[in-house]
Amino acid sequence: MLNFPAWKVALICLVLLWGGLLALPNAFTDGFLGIEPRDTGATDPQSIAEYQQQMEEAEASWWPGVLPTSKVNLGLDLQGGVYLLTEIDPDEVAANRLETLQADIRDVLNSAPLITRDVPEQQGSTLPIRLRNPEQMDDALRRLRRINPTIGATGGEKIMSIEAQGNDLIMISVSQAARQALAADAQDKMIEIIRRRLDPDGVSEVSITPQGDTRIVIEAPGEADPRRIKDILSRAGRMTFNMADSSPSSIAAAESGLPRPGWELVQDENGISYLINRTPVVSGSDIATANQGYDPDDNSPAVDFRLTGSGAERFGRTTANNRGELFAIVLDGKVMSAPRINEPIWGGNVQITGNFTMQEAQDLAAIIEAGELPGKLGFIEERTVGPGLGADSIRAGTRASLIGLVLVAIFMIIAYGLIGSFAVGSLLANIILILGALSGLGATLTLPGIAGIILTIGMAVDANVIVFERIREEQRAGRSPNTAVIAGYERALSTILDANITTFIAAAILYMLGSGPVKGFAVTLAIGIVTSVFTAFVVTRWFTAMWLRLAKPRKLSI
């Protein structure tokens, strides 16, 4: 127990050194470590000055590349930011997907020999079709099955379940399995679209992760206002170009409930009504890119976009055939712009102008380019911490840790004297190892996590105390210092393991079932338990062994 051959000493030193090196980056600024600042795209002078200063610092850095540079990851409650939990409604996704098949369903039932022209509107995600002639049932079922696509890769679940009910009714619905497959598919698509909307340039630190089958977690560090994100993600993003008619007579007819067949009324943000053709000339999939640009007339922010080859071709032809008419750019059921076609527009470059701020134009461009969401995204939880509160929490947490550490150290030295100071030494080693492990594992430190570290500081001495108390007893029983220490450690081991395994179980459960900040608490608690057993049982023992060898005390004063 007191025998420390060179390799054991080397191993202990190696572990401590490694932990120390992993923890070291936390003491320095990013620039000092040679980490180049992130280009956030901010254009105000202060941000640019900061960026340049950090860049210079990073370039002047002499930090060797072989040393670690990653720091402890701060949770949103410490660095400030927005956390949003969103949910997809699988029923709505199913209904939306079924709706896209309606045109095909009408077509196949409409073709010769005619089965029915009378396909009703779907109710939710079911579509009952009544046949005129029951003898056509088999033919109808065959035709419908031919247009039933699979979800995702081939061989997957079919979208529609098509059943005959009675002799003249066909019930089309979306089965439970198909709903799940659609939701999973929608979740993947949503994540991709959310990323393109919130982070069109791929520079921000926003993190978008799936949770379960229907939920998506969005974490945006540094963001102080959740409204912008909520707003960007609330829009469906369905963008179409439609031919439009604003003549007073057609509008009046439509308002009295008799629109031209195949046309519908929509309004712009000023409440002006337009009659638009339901069949769009250009839709979302025809848009290649969208960017924030400037209106050449007054240099105000605008949205520029470019159509794909086939979209540009179709748009060009339509504009050539409809000179003098209006066309409307419609986003989510609202007319954004309705210019008159003065000449054919070839080339597929289009601009929307309006009273946009720079931010609005950028967000709108991102929404248009990212495309339409497969369903509505519902927000079910929001947590935002401003940068001020985050910084205050770090300061308060750091102060509480330092005070706790000093108090525990004083207490241990008063209680046990010299050997207590060995325990304090290993307590410091413990904190370095915790920081090293957090940095090395890329774990997230939250405010409750800091509480976990402080709690570990208090409980870490427990293993030392158990050993010391054993040593006291053994010495009282008349043993020499060396044998007392050996016996103390030997007999305390099973107790220490039993006691710590139980706390570890609690931390592990907390980690598995907890969320966010609480998870952070579980991580530091669990890491703290492992490192404190190591430091108390190995590091303190090593200190004690060295001291026994060097000082050769007759009696331990503990």
Rounded Cα gap, residues 367 and 373, in angstroms:
10
Of 200 and 226, the one with the shorter C-beta distance to another protein is 226
Nearest alpha-carbon partner for 179 in 153, 146, 214: 214
Least distance in angstroms from the C-beta of 9 to another protein: 10
- Position 27, amino acid: A
Of 272 and 396, the one with the shorter C-beta distance to another protein is 396
Of 263 and 416, the one with the shorter C-beta distance to another protein is 416
Residues of this chain, 394-423, that bind another protein according to CB under 8 A = 395-397, 399-401, 403-404, 407-408, 411-417, 420
Q: Any contact of residue 486 with another protein (CB under 8 A)?
A: no
Least distance in angstroms from the C-beta of 77 to another protein: 8
Nearest alpha-carbon partner for 91 in 228, 186, 232: 186
Spatial strand order in the sheet of 126-130: 126-130, 169-173, 161-165
Residues of this chain, 338-397, that bind another protein according to CB under 8 A = 378-386, 388-389, 392-393, 395-397
Q: How many CA atoms lie within 13 A of 167 on its CB side?
A: 3
Does the CA dihedral 197-199-205-207 come out positive or negative? positive
Residues of this chain, 166-225, that bind another protein according to CB under 8 A = 224-225
Stretch that binds another protein, among 60-68, 194-202, 302-310, 494-502 (CB under 8 A): 494-502
> Of 1, 108, 428, 530, which lies in the binding site for another protein, with binding defined by CB under 8 A?
1
The CA R_g of the chain, rounded to the nearest whole Å, is 34
Least distance in angstroms from the C-beta of 18 to another protein: 15
Least distance in angstroms from the C-beta of 223 to another protein: 12
In the chain the first and final C-alpha atoms are separated, in Å, by: 19
Stretch that binds another protein, among 16-24, 127-135, 304-312, 452-460 (CB under 8 A): 452-460
Of 95 and 131, the one with the shorter C-beta distance to another protein is 95
- Position 141, amino acid: L
> Of 8, 278, 317, 334, which lies in the binding site for another protein, with binding defined by CB under 8 A?
8
Of 330 and 558, the one with the shorter C-beta distance to another protein is 558
Query: Interhelix angle for 137-146 vs 90-110, to 10°?
Result: 120
Least distance in angstroms from the C-beta of 516 to another protein: 8
**Pair 481, 547: CB distance under 8 Å:** no
Residues of this chain, 30-69, that bind another protein according to CB under 8 A = none
Residue 249 CB coordination number (10 Å): 8
Least distance in angstroms from the C-beta of 83 to another protein: 9
Burial (CB count within 10 angstroms: exposed 0-12, middle 13-18, buried 19+), residue 42? exposed
Residues of this chain, 217-236, that bind another protein according to CB under 8 A = 224-227, 230
Q: Any contact of residue 90 with another protein (CB under 8 A)?
A: no
Rounded Cα gap, residues 197 and 155, in angstroms:
32
How many of the chain's residues bind another protein (CB under 8 A)?
91
Of 310 and 515, the one with the shorter C-beta distance to another protein is 515
**Pair 394, 78: CB distance under 8 Å:** yes
The tokens describing 477, both together, are 């029983």
Q: What is the DSSP letter of 340?
A: B
Strands 215-221 and 273-277: unpaired
Strands 73-74 and 444-445: parallel
Of 337 and 426, the one with the shorter C-beta distance to another protein is 426
C-alpha dist (Å) from residue 483 to 464, 470, 534:
17, 12, 22
Q: Any contact of residue 476 with another protein (CB under 8 A)?
A: yes
C-alpha dist (Å) from residue 527 to 372, 428, 505:
44, 15, 12
Site string for another protein, 497-536 (x = CB under 8 A): xxxxxxxxxxx-xx-xxxx-xx--xx--x-----------
> Of 58, 450, 523, 536, which lies in the binding site for another protein, with binding defined by CB under 8 A?
450
The tokens describing 301, both together, are 């922010």
Of 314 and 472, the one with the shorter C-beta distance to another protein is 472
Least distance in angstroms from the C-beta of 356 to another protein: 20
Residue 271 CB coordination number (10 Å): 6
Of 55 and 418, the one with the shorter C-beta distance to another protein is 418
Least distance in angstroms from the C-beta of 407 to another protein: 4
Least distance in angstroms from the C-beta of 3 to another protein: 10
Of 434 and 538, the one with the shorter C-beta distance to another protein is 538
Element (H, E) at 406: helix 387-416
Of 164 and 493, the one with the shorter C-beta distance to another protein is 493
